[in-house]
Amino acid sequence: MTLYKHRTVPVLAAPLLLMGALIAQADTAATQADEIVLKNGSRLLGTITGVRDGMVKIDTEFAGSISIKLEHIDSMEAHDPVVLLLENGTVVESQGIAVEQQELVLSTPEAPASRYPLQDLALTDPAPWELGQGYNWTGLASAALSLQRGNTDSDEFDYKLDASWRSTEDRYTALLSGEVDEANGVRNAENWSILGKYDRFLDGPLYWGINASVEQDEFADVDLRYYLGPYLGREFYSKPVLNLSGEAGLVLVDEDFIIAEDEQYLGANWTVNASSNYLGGDSRLYLRHTGIWNLDETDEFILHLAMGLGFPLLAQIEAAAEILLDYDSGLPAEVDSLDQAYRFRIGYSW
């Protein structure tokens, strides 16, 4: 009986010790996990990966990556030190995130106050350009090619480049597009355009800029058209769900036609840019509209509209289906005033 008792104690103790170790390990993991408590009382544990555009991302074991609006958060704690950038430009180095009762708690020499409204947290781990160091280069280069053989032999090639260099103070933009089409060995479309812009940001959503454009369209009788002028712009919304900006200004337009009489005039110029990720899945709805109103001949307009849906295919490869509308009321009578194009493009974004 004695031997039986001495052998039973270790056998029964081993599972208990293992269970205790697992519980202790689980408690340690829970203690080290980042935590978000919502205003409705819900509690999320995981790893907070960043704050940007009014959203907090947290990786969880039960639901993967989740994005939560700052306005829904009551308290939050992230243990790993990050760089915090506030809306007023304050940069706080190497601090974890601590939020209590919808207030961001700071305790470093860089922060003049200990508490800020949570909405004042702009983002975490900003890129160098967001701290005023250099420029952020983004762009999209794409092309569309169509070859048809049979009763009708047709070749269509369209190309487009959209690039932007942005800092905290200014922005440079370059747009290049063109088209070359043939049918049964006869060219029926050949055009290109280049637009360059410079923007200087002011306090708040306003900015001023200057743009210059040059274009050619042989089949619209345009040997060369160029314009140059200043404008005032405003960013109405700058969130992923809706990015909307508008510009208005004056341009000096010079038009050299192949057949019609050349023109030079002062025009009112406007631009509207909009994009949205509303459909989700990293897709992008976009719209770009520009217009010029001839102030000398007030019944003449030049209007350009591009709208479409872009979506990722693989890595940085993007596809897009778009509609292009170009209207010019000042063209000769024998030339159609409205051009329409429907395209499916493949491109590389960065």
What is the residue-wise DSSP string for 261-275?
PPEEEEEEEEEEEEE
Confidence (pLDDT) at 89: 86
Q: Looking at residue 90, what is its pLDDT?
A: 86
How many whole angstroms separate alpha carbon 260 and alpha carbon 333?
A: 10
What tens digit of pLDDT does each residue of 34-75 get? Answer: 999 999 999 999 999 999 988 999 999 988 899 999 999 999
Give the closest residue to 145 by CA, choosing from 136, 153, 157: 157
Across 184-316, where does the E strand assignment appear?
186-201, 206-217, 222-239, 242-257, 263-276, 284-294, 301-314
Distance of CA 163 to the CA centre of its chain: 12
Residue 271: partners with Cβ closer than 8 Å, 6 or more residues away: 231, 233, 246, 247, 288, 289, 290, 291
What is the rounded distance in angstroms from the CA atom of residue 296 to the CA atom of residue 10? 100
CA-closest candidate to residue 145, choices 182, 112, 106, 109? 182
pLDDT of residue 30: 47
- Please, what are the averages of pLDDT over each run of 10 residues along the chain (350 residues)? 44 53 48 88 93 92 90 93 90 86 82 81 93 95 82 83 96 96 86 97 95 94 96 94 96 94 96 94 93 96 96 92 93 85 92
Q: What is the model's pLDDT at position 17?
A: 52
User: How many angstroms separate the CA atoms of 304 and 290, rounded?
Assistant: 5
- pLDDT reported for residue 28: 46
Q: 169: which 2 tokens?
A: 């103070």
CA 114 to chain centre: 33
How many angstroms separate the CA atoms of 259 and 223, rounded? 9
128: left (phi > 0), else alpha (psi -120 to 50), else beta?
alpha
What domains, with CATH codes, occur in the chain? 33-126 (no CATH), 136-349 (2.40.160.40)
Residue 98 identity (one-letter amino acid): A
Report the predicted TM-score, pTM, of the whole model to 2 decimal places: 0.81
Mean model confidence pLDDT for the chain: 88
The residues, any chain, with a CB within 8 Å of residue 185's CB and separated by 6 or more, are 153
Which residue from 138, 126, 135, 134 is spatially nearest to 52, judged by alpha carbons? 126
Q: Which of 288, 315, 313 is nearest to 303 (CA)?
A: 288
At residue 113, the pLDDT reads: 62
Per-residue model confidence (pLDDT) at position 9: 44
Residue 94, CA atoms < 13 Å, CB-side half-sphere: 1
